[in-house]
Structure 1
Amino acid sequence: MIWQGRLDGEELLFHRLFQRVREAENHDLVITNDFVLHGFAVDEGVRRNKGRVGAKDAPDIIRKNMANFPVIMPDFSMLDFGNITCEDGDLEKAQTTLAENVSQVLAKGAKSMVLGGGHEVTFAHYSGIRNAFPDKKIGIINIDAHFDNRRPEDGVGASSGTGFWQIAQEENNHTLHIGIQRNSNTLKLFDTAHQLGMKYILADEIFFENLPSVYERITELIESVDVLYLTICMDVFNASIAPGVSAAAYNGLFTDAAFMHFYKHILKSEKLVGLDVAEVNPQFDIQERTARLAASLVNEWFMI
């Protein structure tokens, strides 16, 4: 049993997350304002992208690290629909399944949360949001060291690195990428970002004194769209706090005051309908640091 933790009492003031989670199979149980969780236990896209596989094992470990957080908001509730897996390397089928599930959740007015898995989760999660809001302008904030805007290779297909190229083909260029590393993206990927209209904030630009500029660009995106989706690739963080990822970054971000200020600014948007974390790789984690960090970032949404 994954959802278990310290039981201080059954009164509401004692509650921790595991006491408010209901494991479910029927999406008809979803009601407005619920948080709804799906695990995307898939890393076929990472394999196709020549990365370090292992992220498929992350959802349950992240759940375990979420379970003991205290409940802050009195009306908090969450439904957990378990994990989607990838059979016989059929990534596209797994992505379609997640998209269909997310669409059902959002159609009922709930909030979608997905635990990856590789960053191929982005195209699946976005597709579900698009299906639920076909006439809305969807904005995406991607906290990531990489653009993930590679063109799919012939004979390989979509991968963890192609999500934003795929999204751009659907004429969505309402994206802001925060934490981009110059040493993690070729000039071709920067050029593709410019060609596709992808806006970005370099990792080097994220420091406390520069927060007004960061806030301005985030606010500009949020105000220009109808619906907001936030995706976090854990390889954006420094390897000392996130060692268990598919591609570790020695000079990645820290969850310091500057980061938490703009991160909470995003979470406070009433337009935010979906959030996911990707690329936690338990095979390379140390003392579950990366899984714990991912769980903590998700938990921040529950406290807004």
Structure 2
Amino acid sequence: MFIQPEWQWKQENGSGMHQWIKQKENPQPSDVDIIVYGALLSYASESSKKAQYPHAFRKAWSSFQSYNLDEQVDLRALAVVDIGDVAIHTTDKMISESAIEAAAESLSVAYQKSFTCLIGGDHAITACSLRGIKNAFPQDRIGVIQLDTHLDARNQEEIGLAMDSPIQQLIAAGVVEGKHIYNVGLHGFFNSPEMIHYAREQGIHMITLKQMRRDGIQLTIREMLRQLMFEVDRIYVSVDLDALDITFAPEVPAATPGGLTAYELFDIVKLIGENEGVRHIDFVYADPKEGELRIETVKTGVTAFLQWITGIQLDHRHRIAKK
């Protein structure tokens, strides 16, 4: 089900991110707080080309330390394990999507007390992952927070299997109800009237950047999480890196002017990490259609990942202090 990642670090002790995060197969559930795995599926490029971001994400670890100076927390208090990449088919993307779904289900069952983090890859993997989680917990109501410039709800009957329809897929399959989906980061001229009409029809909560900046990031995110915690059993967060302004992610295919700043993204994912109801997260859609990923984008994505873990550690520290 999983294969060893292309980029691996020597397993040794230390404060570097590449030393703190362990890379191993089949860790004991009691030894894991956060499970990280990759999915190399990519619709952005040729069918035979694998997603670049999981490899680049791991390779960048040596540039980061485990200590968050701003929050004064050492993330080594959390056991983070990278179990590798989902074994996908080289050309058949339907088989690949089924493999990602099966992997998400397996991890959700085996590591029920752990957080899971999926590194992509294409935004199509979000639908695969959520289907797997729903298979594992069929009675659970699942809430989705989608950080994205786009609604990603185009009609599959019109466009076929495609990267920009995961939300439509999930609603149509009954995995998630529209009223339990919050799309954060919408702005500008990048969603069709048909998609906006569909979102309204399905009850999707559309939170524009203009609205969030006016009301305040902390207030907006905390209220959204409070509402979801009241309505659902578990929360899934999908971070589409095209939510970033194009200056922070210049080669991400669908990045646009006026998107989130890196600082706003970091604040949002830290706040999300502080809420224990968020059990699953993915970071997706960094791959350019042509050429190589730029290190600026990779490091921004890694920092967002570490900010999410910072939120988890702050939440743990707060709970211990209350006891």
TM-score category, normalised to shorter length: 0.7 to 0.9
Q: Measured at CA, do residues 224 and 153 of structure 1 come closer, stay the same or move farther in structure 2, by a change above 3 Å?
A: same
Separation (CA, whole Å) in 1 of partners of 2:202 and 2:156: 15
Using the TM superposition, give the Cα deviation of residue 205 of structure 1 relative to its aligned residue in structure 2, in angstroms: 1.9
Q: Measured at CA, do residues 284 and 185 of structure 1 come closer, stay the same or move farther in structure 2, by a change above 3 Å?
A: farther
Separation (CA, whole Å) in 1 of partners of 2:279 and 2:60: 23
Residues 106 and 273 in structure 1, CA contact (< 8 A), matched pair in contact too:
no
Worse-superposed segment, 52-61 or 32-41: 52-61
Using the TM superposition, give the Cα deviation of residue 149 of structure 1 relative to its aligned residue in structure 2, in angstroms: 0.6
Worse-superposed segment, 177-186 or 70-79: 70-79
Using the TM superposition, give the Cα deviation of residue 57 of structure 1 relative to its aligned residue in structure 2, in angstroms: 1.3
Question: 1:149-170 CA deviation, whole Å, 9 max, x = no partner?
Answer: 111146x632111100011013
Determine whether 1:137 maps to 2:144. Answer: no
Q: Measured at CA, do residues 168 and 209 of structure 1 come closer, stay the same or move farther in structure 2, by a change above 3 Å?
A: closer
Q: How large is the Cα RMSD of the aligned pairs?
A: 2.8
Q: Measured at CA, do residues 168 and 35 of structure 1 come closer, stay the same or move farther in structure 2, by a change above 3 Å?
A: same
TM-score by length of 1: 0.85
| Aligned match of 1:147 | 151
Determine whether 1:2 maps to 2:4. Answer: no
| Aligned match of 2:207 | 201
| Aligned match of 1:297 | 304
| Aligned match of 2:273 | 267
Question: 1:211-262 CA deviation, whole Å, 9 max, x = no partner?
Answer: 4345323421233211011111111111111112121212211033x55444
Separation (CA, whole Å) in 1 of partners of 2:61 and 2:135: 29
| Aligned match of 1:251 | 258
Residues 120 and 160 in structure 1, CA contact (< 8 A), matched pair in contact too:
yes
Q: Percent identity?
A: 20
Q: Quick one: which amino acid aligns to residue 38 of structure 1?
A: Y
| Aligned match of 1:62 | 57
Residues 30 and 105 in structure 1, CA contact (< 8 A), matched pair in contact too:
no
Using the TM superposition, give the Cα deviation of residue 53 of structure 1 relative to its aligned residue in structure 2, in angstroms: 10
Ranges in structure 1 where 5+ consecutive residues have no aligned partner: none
| Aligned match of 2:163 | 160
Q: Measured at CA, do residues 93 and 288 of structure 1 come closer, stay the same or move farther in structure 2, by a change above 3 Å?
A: same
Using the TM superposition, give the Cα deviation of residue 208 of structure 1 relative to its aligned residue in structure 2, in angstroms: 6.2
TM-score by length of 2: 0.80
Which of 116, 121, 134 is equivalent to 2:125? 121
Partner SS for 2:182: strand
Q: Measured at CA, do residues 112 and 130 of structure 1 come closer, stay the same or move farther in structure 2, by a change above 3 Å?
A: same
Which of 161, 183, 192 is equivalent to 1:186? 192
Q: Measured at CA, do residues 301 and 16 of structure 1 come closer, stay the same or move farther in structure 2, by a change above 3 Å?
A: same
Q: Quick one: which amino acid aligns to residue 285 of structure 2?
A: E
Ranges in structure 2 where 5+ consecutive residues have no aligned partner: 1-5, 67-73, 313-323
| Aligned match of 1:35 | 34
Separation (CA, whole Å) in 2 of partners of 1:184 and 1:53: 28
Residues 287 and 293 in structure 2, CA contact (< 8 A), matched pair in contact too:
no
Worse-superposed segment, 209-218 or 124-133: 209-218
Separation (CA, whole Å) in 1 of partners of 2:119 and 2:293: 19
Worse-superposed segment, 293-302 or 208-217: 208-217
| Aligned match of 1:235 | 242
Q: Quick one: which amino acid aligns to residue 101 of structure 2?
A: A
Question: 1:73-118 CA deviation, whole Å, 9 max, x = no partner?
Answer: 3432232232236435322221221222222222222221111111
| Aligned match of 2:172 | 169
| Aligned match of 1:277 | 283
| Aligned match of 2:70 | none
Question: 1:177-205 CA deviation, whole Å, 9 max, x = no partner?
Answer: 00012411000010111112211111222
Q: Measured at CA, do residues 53 and 104 of structure 1 come closer, stay the same or move farther in structure 2, by a change above 3 Å?
A: closer
Q: Quick one: which amino acid aligns to residue 235 of structure 2?
A: L
Separation (CA, whole Å) in 2 of partners of 1:55 and 1:252: 27
Question: 1:259-300 CA deviation, whole Å, 9 max, x = no partner?
Answer: 544432211111111111111125556741111111111112
Which structure has the higher relative contact order (CA within 8 Å, separation 6+)? Answer: 1
Separation (CA, whole Å) in 1 of partners of 2:230 and 2:304: 23
Residues 244 and 289 in structure 1, CA contact (< 8 A), matched pair in contact too:
no
| Aligned match of 1:224 | 231
Number of aligned pairs?
Answer: 292
Partner SS for 1:183: coil
